Amino acid sequence: MLPSSYSKITPEIEKLAGLTEQAAYVNPELYTEYGVKRGLRDLNGKGVLVGITNISEVNSQRVIDGKNVPIPGELYYRGYKIQDIVNNIRPDSHFGFEEITYLLLFGELPTKKQLRNFIKLLSSYRSLPKNFVRDSILKKPSNDMMNSLARSVLALYSYDDNPDDISQPNVLRQCLQLIAMFPLLSVYGYQAYRYYAKGDSLIIHRPKKEYSTAENILHCLRDDSSFTPLEAKLLDVALILHAEHGGGNNSTFTTHLVSSSGTDTYSAIAAALGSLKGPRHGGANIKVVKMFADLKKNVKDWTDEEEVGAYLRALLHKEAFDHAGLIYGIGHAVYSISDPRAVLFQGYVEQLAEAKGYDKEYALYSLVERLAPQIISEERKIYKGVSPNVDFFSGFVYQMLGLPMELFTPIFAIARIAGWSAHRLEELSHHDKIMRPAYMTVAKHRKYIPIDER
């Protein structure tokens, strides 16, 4: 146990931090002066091209008569449109995520036999090393589940007989094991937190081989292990929609970047988890849920457009919620007219809201969905359209499923590990160059002054 003073910010640290802040400052106008694309994006949000991938495609524009014209957002997995995937998976199947994981890893949709064998393979990996839960999770609980998940991933390195072998067969084996283990690592980490921090009973359920990833999450998380077919289906759809989103999103780019150094799988995936943890990436749906909680407290009539609109304007003016000037869940770095994942999700969200008695909350979400883009366009100078993104609905879905907020981002990770794995394998298949982007230095050259003369 570290001393209580370990995390204290002393006056000396405060003073040094002021020096750091001065040293770290770079005039934002220099980005325009030198034509540097800040955040590797232009003013329209379009990313700088840094690689080529076969795995997925994200479109928000189409060239028509030589001009880039905004279109409703498109997302393809290995050339298959996400709408076709979600709408054509059997309605009674909860193994859609497994089917799509196979597609992302191996490039083709599986036959019935291939899918059965793949599900069996994942099930065989859905267990943790002996005493791992006790020694690595229960004895070292964390109040942040992404931290717990990342530590568990790094700890698994020590249980692997060939952790540094980056041949395709070995990396595939490691990735499949992590895909299978992520639900257990996430849920067990939460159960440990519940027990030690909240004083709840410690209940650890073993996964069931016949269950899908979505079903096992609900089974392992809930004390009574029960869930409805609609709940399992909706969580399965959520995993499909979060499984992959092109090579340029922050955590997947991190996977490519770190993998290009030749490091091991556990380090690469832990780095991706660190990226996803950020509130600008995987933690965004938590912000949406908290924003709506604040809205419901401060708006008397949830159906009154003027009152709801006034709250949204207050958000933009930094007068409400966290004073950041943002309407969370509205807008995306790539999409403008629509996010296809949000469009697909909405129909399922409405079904669950009706089944769970959340009709009023769903109506409020729908009202904000309609009003927010209009208000943003009136209040802000924007370079492209804005619309609800997948985070706008995902946190609401997890709330209706009774999932704890601490697991919102880990569930994103449980899905995205499929895409990260495909991208890691793709990056390693090139195995020729480490990624090394350039930075322009604007510091002036100075002559060193001996310490006695300063």
Mind telling me the catalytic residues?
Answer: 332, 391
Please state at what angle helix 168-193 crosses helix 213-221, rounded to 10 degrees: 30
Q: Which residues contact 124 (CB under 8 A, 6 or more apart)?
A: none
The string over 141-173, giving b where at least 16 C-beta atoms fall within 10 Å of a residue's C-beta and e elsewhere, is bbeebbebbbbbbbbbeeebeebeebeeebbbb
What CA–CA distance (Å, rounded) separates 388 from 370? 9
* CA proximity to 415, closest of 241, 230, 286: 241
How many DSSP H helices and E strands does the chain contain? 18, 3
- How far apart are alpha carbons 233 and 246 in whole angstroms? 24
Separation CA 391–CA 288 (nearest Å)? 7
Read off the tokens for 430. Answer: 């090139």
| 3-state SS, residue 59 | strand
DSSP string, 216-256: HHHHHHSTT----HHHHHHHHHHHHHHS---TTSHHHHHHH
Could you give the CA distance from residue 46 to residue 23 in angstroms, rounded to a whole number?
Answer: 30
Question: Which residues are paired to 58 by β-bridges?
Answer: 75
